[in-house]
Amino acid sequence: MTATTPVMDKALIARIPLDVNCALTEDLGGEVNANNDVTALLIGEETLATAQVITREAGVFCGRAWVDETFKQIDSRVNITWHVQDGEALIANQQLFTLTGPARALLTGERTALNFVQTLSGTASAVAAAVKHLAGSKTQLLDTRKTIPGMRLGQKFAVRCGGGSNHRIGLFDAFLIKENHIAACGSIANAVQQARSLSADKWVEVEVESLAEFRQALATGCDVIMLDNFTDHDIQHAVNEAQGQVKLEVSGNITADRLSHYASMGVDYISSGALTKHVQALDLSMRLTPHT
C-alpha cells in the first residue's frame, strides 16, 4: 500500500543538509572526510559493491531525503535505487533501497543513513498505528514540541508521513498560553488580549485545567482550548458548552486504547508527546556484496 507523500516545506529542505552534516562530522572526527573511517580503509580504494537495505519489521517508511543527502556528502559516485516512498506502508523483510558504488563509501555512510531512517520511520509507524483508532471521526491526531533535539522538522515530517498532523512547529509560529503564562499575565483574558495585540494573525491556544478556566478561555474568543488532563465527564461538558464556537484539544496521558473514545466525544484534536519522544526505531539491516 502506498500513501501520498507529504510535501516538504522550504525550512525542512534547507535543514536536511545541515542535520546530515552534523551527524557525519560526529561520526568522522569533526569533518566530513571518509578517510577518517579507519575500518573502511581496510578495503581497497577501487573496490565496488552493492548493498541492499531491508526492514525486518512492518511499519511506515520515512527518510529518503536523509539517505540521499548522506551519500551525496560522502561520495557522489554512490548510486541509490529506491524501492519505497515516504509514507509507504511496509511489510517485514521488504527491500527499501539499493546502494551501488565504492565499498568504502557504502560502509562509511551506512550507520548515519540508517540512523535517520530507523528514527523517522519509527515515528511515522507509531503515528500510523495511532491514527487507525481515529478512522471515521473528525478528530485529528497532533504531535507536540517533545521531539529529539535537532530533529524537530524531520520528526514533524514523519508525523505527516504516518497520517498525523502538526501542532505548532516551535515557539515562533503560534501562541500556546499555559498556566505560567496566565499567572504572569494576571488572567486568561489578559493573556489572550496581549497575544491578539502582539500578532493578530497568529493562532491563539489556551491550555486549561478545569471547567472554570475553560469557561474563561471560551469567553476570550481564542482559536483553540486545550483540555489538559480533563476527566471524561468534564471533556463532555466542555464539548457541549463550546457548541463549535472554538476548537477543542485533549492532551495529557494519551493512550492508544483511549483515542477512539476521545474522538467519539466530539473533540477536534488529540495531542500526544509520546508520538515523537517515545520512539522505537524500525529494525533495519544492510547487507553488502563486493563486485568481483
Phi, psi of 57 (to 5 degrees): -145, 160
- What is the C-alpha separation between 115 and 201, in angstroms, rounded? 38
Give the angle subtended at the CA of 281 by the CAs of 88 and 75, to the nearest 5°: 75
DSSP, collapsed to helix, strand or coil, labels residue 103 as helix
Measured over the CA atoms of residue 184, residue 189, residue 193 and residue 195, the dihedral's sign is positive
Respond yes or no: is residue 146 known to be catalytic: yes
Q: Which residues contact 244 (CB under 8 A, 6 or more apart)?
A: none
Distances 147 to 110, 112, 133, 172 between C-alpha atoms, Å: 24, 19, 23, 16
- What is the C-alpha separation between 254 and 223, in angstroms, rounded? 22
Catalytic residue chosen out of the listed positions 88, 228, 249, 268: 228
Q: Which residues contact 12 (CB under 8 A, 6 or more apart)?
A: 153, 154, 156, 157
Phi, psi of 256 (to 5 degrees): -55, -40
Respond yes or no: is residue 9 known to be catalytic: no
- What is the C-alpha separation between 127 and 87, in angstroms, rounded? 11
Catalytic residue chosen out of the listed positions 56, 111, 132, 138: 111
Measured over the CA atoms of residue 191, residue 193, residue 199 and residue 203, the dihedral's sign is positive
Asked whether the beta carbons of 50 and 82 are under 8 A apart, the reply is no
Respond yes or no: is residue 111 known to be catalytic: yes
**Which amino acid would we find at residue 210?**
S
Catalytic residue chosen out of the listed positions 178, 215, 247, 277: 178
**Which amino acid would we find at residue 113?**
A
H-helix or E-strand containing 22?
A: helix 10-27
Residues serving a catalytic function are 111, 146, 178, 207, 228
